[in-house]
Chains A and B, each alone.
Chain A
Amino acid sequence: GNSVTQMEGPVTLSEEAFLTINCTYTATGYPSLFWYVQYPGEGLQLLLKATKADDKGSNKGFEATYRKETTSFHLEKGSVQVSDSAVYFCALISNTGKLIFGQGTTLQVKP
């Protein structure tokens, strides 16, 4: 079946550190892949997406590349800010149109 696995949190970094949040998936076919971000007390916001192999999604300094060979979609940012503190969800859209989420990774950035 379809599933998404993210690295366990919380991830705690100092401001300006490099961020990687690992995400791997299992799916039938070639699903679109997404990263959503949830700030405290808010709903989910679409951060970036990629619809086919080798696509790179990017937004607000965040990037993720769709790697078919390793079934991965790791989220990266070169220099995090305190305002990036949030919960990050990796997700895929199944061939039945359902969005399958990972369990979420909490990022805490300290000044």
Chain B
Amino acid sequence: EADIYQTPRYLVIGTGKKITLECSQTMGHDKMYWYQQDPGMELHLIHYSYGVNSTEKGDLSSESTVSRIRTEHFPLTLESARPSHTSQYLCASSELAGASTDTQYFGPGTRLTVL
């Protein structure tokens, strides 16, 4: 099982602030993902990465950006937070890029509230 960490776990900030949500994994997984989970619990893929210097947009359009400078680290940044960004953000990683038996492992999540 993967060890994957997210910080902070909870964040309350004001509108217009720049924030970075951190995600790190210690398993050397190539592929990493960010999901946004709405209050109805549905999960939406917003970003993913196949490896260092690779980033792709997911199925749900997001104003956030991501970077992948190191294999273990996949931070998500909001340049100017708005109340509509209030959500739970989940990071995940997997070992096999594109394989049909690929298994994603999730971090504990960051619950973001923008006032």
A51 with B43: CB separation less than 8 A: no
CB of B75 within 8 Å of the partner chain = no
What residues of chain A have their CB less than 8 Å away from a CB belonging to chain B?
Answer: 29-32, 34, 36, 38, 41-46, 49, 51, 87, 89, 93, 95-99, 101, 103-104, 106
**4 shortest interchain CB distances as A-B pairs:** A97-B98, A44-B106, A104-B41, A43-B109
What is the bound-complex CA distance between A46 and B105, given in angstroms? Answer: 7
Question: In the complex, what distance in Å separates the CA atom of A42 from the CA atom of B10?
Answer: 11
Contact between A95 and B45, CB atoms less than 8 A apart: no
The B interface, classified by DSSP as helix, strand, loop or mixed, is: loop
Residue of A nearest to B44 (CB): A101
Contacts of B90 in A (CB 8 A): 43-44
Size category of the B interface is 20 to 34
Question: Given contacts A43-B6, A98-B45, A103-B42, are A93 and B100 in contact (CB under 8 A)?
Answer: yes
Closest approach, in angstroms, between the C-beta of B78 and any C-beta of chain A?
A: 19
Instruction: Kindly state the separation between the CA atoms of A49 and B67 in the bound complex, as whole angstroms.
Output: 30
A29 to B101, CA, bound (A): 12
Task: Indicate whether A99 sits within 8 Å of B109 (C-beta atoms), given known contacts A43-B6, A89-B43, A104-B42.
Answer: no
Q: Which residue of A lies closest to B111 (CB)?
A: A41
**Which residues on A sit within 8 Å (CB–CB) of B108?**
42-43
Q: Cβ of A87: which chain B residues have Cβ within 8 Å of it? A: 41
Contact present for B42 and A51 (CB under 8 Å): no
Show 10 residue pairs from A and B whose CB-CB distance is below 8 angstroms, ordered by the A residue.
A32-B100, A43-B6, A46-B105, A87-B41, A89-B43, A93-B101, A96-B98, A97-B97, A97-B102, A104-B42
